[in-house]
């Protein structure tokens, strides 16, 4: 036996599991496999994930009201939460009790008016040589709704919507009763050295969501009441219903204002050119007050989200998760932004010598 054969050491080949090459490739394959499973679970569990996210947003609104009430009422948290819930239920019941019958009649009349206005616009476009027909314009809404995601199909029926709403409300109440309990439960599943960072991120997310939802509620109230009063003063038909719809659609940044504006203008022009121009003016005034006064004062200071980012998120989440995705796109983007900012701060604290260059102006 030669010296070369005596000191030759056999190394594991690529066919053996203990080979470093095989182990490295298995780790890579495992990461991609886990990512594929996570994406599949998100698609399959779209409805429960959106319901849980909606419950968190509702719980944040309840928690914000409870904290705000605690500044003037030195009572326990449970009683303050009960007062907030009873106040919200009483307001909704009182509003719909007084205006329920008239709103139902106005809703039916509005549908007829909107369809007639759409047909008129279609005929006018045909006179200009545009190939779109009135039936094409009328089918845009149906096509848009049919292109929504899995959650829309899941809660598309009345029973599904009511069941999902009740489940979301009950879950939100449980979380709002003692939010720190669930926060500690999530932190318990993390390593001890990660818990302080988690608590800081969770507190910042809660603060951001409370400010965002507070600004959203103020905007809804101002847009809804302001639109109703101004349209009523100008003699625009169905001012009450348009005010309520404007207030509800104000929960959706960007897209909601467009939908409410189209409805206001269509109904306004059904009463004549002067009424239509007045309705358009009312819409512009309300949007300017909300966009340049309320949003910068309340919501933008907490989140500072770019409008294009919010609109892009609404398009993406609307296509993936339907109506629920549209409603929750803004809070989800806000929480992702908070997480990334806090993660960046933690990395900078660990490595203070690292300087991130600012983009050129």
pLDDT in tens, 61-93: 899 889 888 888 888 888 899 999 998 888 777
Residue 318: per-residue pLDDT? 79
Average pLDDT for the chain: 77
Q: Look at residues 224, 255, 248, 243 and name the one whose alpha carbon lies nearest to residue 325.
A: 255
For 109-148, letters b (16+ CB in 10 Å) and e give ebeebbeebbeeebeebeeeeeeeebeeeeeeeeeeeeeb
Q: How many CA atoms lie within 13 A of 261 on its CB side?
A: 16
Token pair listed for 217:
């509620």
Residue 103: per-residue pLDDT? 64
Q: Look at residues 321, 329, 332, 326 and name the one whose alpha carbon lies nearest to residue 259.
A: 326
pTM, two decimal places: 0.71
Average pLDDT over residues 138-152: 52
Alpha helix (H) residue ranges in the chain = 3-6, 20-44, 46-70, 77-127, 134-146, 150-154, 158-177, 179-188, 192-233, 239-249, 255-269, 273-289, 295-297, 299-303, 307-321, 323-350
Name the percent of the chain lying above pLDDT 90: 2
Q: Which of 3-7, 75-79, 114-118, 250-254 has the highest mean pLDDT?
A: 75-79
Q: pLDDT tens for residues 225-264?
A: 889 899 888 888 888 888 888 888 888 777 788 888 888 8
Token pair listed for 358:
């600012």
Range with the lowest mean pLDDT among 64-68, 102-106, 172-176? 102-106
- Greater confidence (145 vs 287) lies with 287
Token pair listed for 225:
């009441």
Query: Do 182 and 315 meet the contact criterion of CB atoms below 8 Å apart?
Result: no
- Greater confidence (13 vs 256) lies with 256
* 265 Rama class: left (phi>0) / alpha (psi -120 to 50) / beta: alpha
Q: Where are the domains of the chain?
A: 45-349
Token pair listed for 30:
């495992």
């Amino acid at each position: 036996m030669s010296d070369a054969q005596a000191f030759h050491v056999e190394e594991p080949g690529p066919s053996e599991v203990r080979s470093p090459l095989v182990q490295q490739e298995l780790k890579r394959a495992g990461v991609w496999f886990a990512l594929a499973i996570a994406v599949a679970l998100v698609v399959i569990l779209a409805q429960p994930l959106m319901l849980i996210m909606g419950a968190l947003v509702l719980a944040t609104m309840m928690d914000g009201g409870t904290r705000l009430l605690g500044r003037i009422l030195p009572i326990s948290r449970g009683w303050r939460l009960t007062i907030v819930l009873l106040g919200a239920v009483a307001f909704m019941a009182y509003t719909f009790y007084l205006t329920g019958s008239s709103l139902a009649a106005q809703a039916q009349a509005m549908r007829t008016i909107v369809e007639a206005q759409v047909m008129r616009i279609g005929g006018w476009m045909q006179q200009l040589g545009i190939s779109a027909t009135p039936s094409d314009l009328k089918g845009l809404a149906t096509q848009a709704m049919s292109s929504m995601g899995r959650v829309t199909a899941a809660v598309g029926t009345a029973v599904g919507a009511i069941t999902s709403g009740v489940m979301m409300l009950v879950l939100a109440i449980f979380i709002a009763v003692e939010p720190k309990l669930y926060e500690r439960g999530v932190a318990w599943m993390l390593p001890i050295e990660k818990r302080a960072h988690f608590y800081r991120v969770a507190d910042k997310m809660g603060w951001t969501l409370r400010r965002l939802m507070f600004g959203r509620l103020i905007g809804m109230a101002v847009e809804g009441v302001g639109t109703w009063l101004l349209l009523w003063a100008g003699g625009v038909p169905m001012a009450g219903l348009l005010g309520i719809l404007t207030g509800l659609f104000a929960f959706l940044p960007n897209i909601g204002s467009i939908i409410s504006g189209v409805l206001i203008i269509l109904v306004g022009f059904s009463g004549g050119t002067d009424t239509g121009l007045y309705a358009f003016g009312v819409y512009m005034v309300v949007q300017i007050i909300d966009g340049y006064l309320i949003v910068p004062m309340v919501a933008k200071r907490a989140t500072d989200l770019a409008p294009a980012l919010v609109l892009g998120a609404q398009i993406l989440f609307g296509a993936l998760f339907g109506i629920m995705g549209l409603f929750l796109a803004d809070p989800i983007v806000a929480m992702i932004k908070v997480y990334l900012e806090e993660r960046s701060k933690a990395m900078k604290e660990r490595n203070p010598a690292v300087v991130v260059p600012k983009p050129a102006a």
